[in-house]
Amino acid sequence: MIAARVARCLASVAAIAAVLAAGPAPAHQESPAALRAEGYEAAQWAIASDAADALARVSARFAQGDNALGRLAEEREDLIERRDRLERELERLYASEDAEALANRTRTRAVWETTVERLRTVDADIDARFPAYSELTSPRALSITETQALLGPDEGLLLVLVNPEATYVWGISRERVEWARADNLGDAEMTAAVNRLRASLTSAGAVRGGQDVDPLLFAGPQATPFDRTTAHRLYTELVEPVESAFAGKKTLISVVTGALTALPLAVLTTATPTGSDTGTEALAATPWLIDRYALATLPSVSSLEALRCHLVDDPTQRSAGCPQRR
């Protein structure tokens, strides 16, 4: 069920991007701004992650601090785990035609229906008694306007959705929104590029073995030099096309997917490399993305709301863009 929803969202983003790329729309079609906003929300549903869900649950418990809520939350999580396990079992049973599978379908489906019904009851109880938790444990996509309201005056947000055929990027600040499609960076190409960069980034860590000083610091050039050309390519295709939206800001918050989750964006280079990748002077003179922005990473855009509206002990410190408490 989750995989199907993600597939639909990915397809929606690709379709919206195709319409935007086709040029000016007829009068009866939605405006580019409306399509861009729709694509932004569809992208968020496509990248919903376990980490984001976990953050939502933790922030809700922190915000409420109630034993009754804790018991309901624990039961809810158990029910979700049971429901998902039963759905996988049902898929297996419906794929088989043997006698045992046929006999087990009815029993398993009955247990699934009982579990789903109890989950609905618990959700209704939580919604009535603890509305803030209900909002957080049912993460939703933030609109562009809602995202802008949660960002600080010196912050920008970079959303990167890696699709099989291309990568889609949104850049957002309080004042501006930009989007771009990287046609030559589908999932396979992105994975290959990230692996090339990680080959040199991880070689030092692999030999440390708990030592206080990395022996490679005294071993001369590494066998796998850092590929600044690839690092700059990722910058030019993922950041530069939307950078006008947050140029001059002090902090860049990123939400990324796919292979990019394994690569710190700090290592992207913001200028065409000069000199050798093994030359210490050339490396020292290289401008990096971390030189331009303080970088932060979130598992989802909705995490911005969780952190700034619910994981705040002092209500006066809540973001001005937070929704009103129910």
Contact between residue 166 and residue 17 where contact means Cβ atoms under 8 Å apart: yes
279: CB partners within 8 A, 6+ apart: none
Q: In this predicted structure, what is the pLDDT of residue 113? A: 95
Q: Which helix (H) or strand (E) holds 258?
A: none
Question: Phi first, then psi: what are they for 299, rounded to 5°?
Answer: -75, -20
Give the residue-averaged pLDDT of 298-316: 82
Q: 145-171, pLDDT tens digit by residue?
A: 999 999 999 999 999 999 888 999 999
Name which residue leads in pLDDT, 177 or 307. Answer: 177
Q: In this predicted structure, what is the pLDDT of residue 53? A: 57
Give the residue-averaged pLDDT of 25-43: 71
Q: In this predicted structure, what is the pLDDT of residue 51? A: 55
Query: Angle at the Cα of 107 (from 112 to 73), degrees rounded to 5?
Result: 25
Answer yes or no: is pLDDT of 8 > 70.
no
Q: In this predicted structure, what is the pLDDT of residue 186? A: 93
Q: 206-219, pLDDT tens digit by residue?
A: 443 444 544 544 45
Least confident range from 95-99, 200-204, 283-287: namely 200-204
Confidence of residue 5 (pLDDT cuts 50, 70, 90): very low
Q: Where are the domains of the chain?
A: 67-129, 144-299
Answer yes or no: is pLDDT of 1 > 50.
no
Name which residue leads in pLDDT, 129 or 7. Answer: 129
Question: How many other C-beta atoms are found inside a 10 Å radius of the C-beta of residue 103?
Answer: 11
- Backbone φ/ψ region at 96: left (φ over 0), alpha (ψ -120 to 50), beta: beta
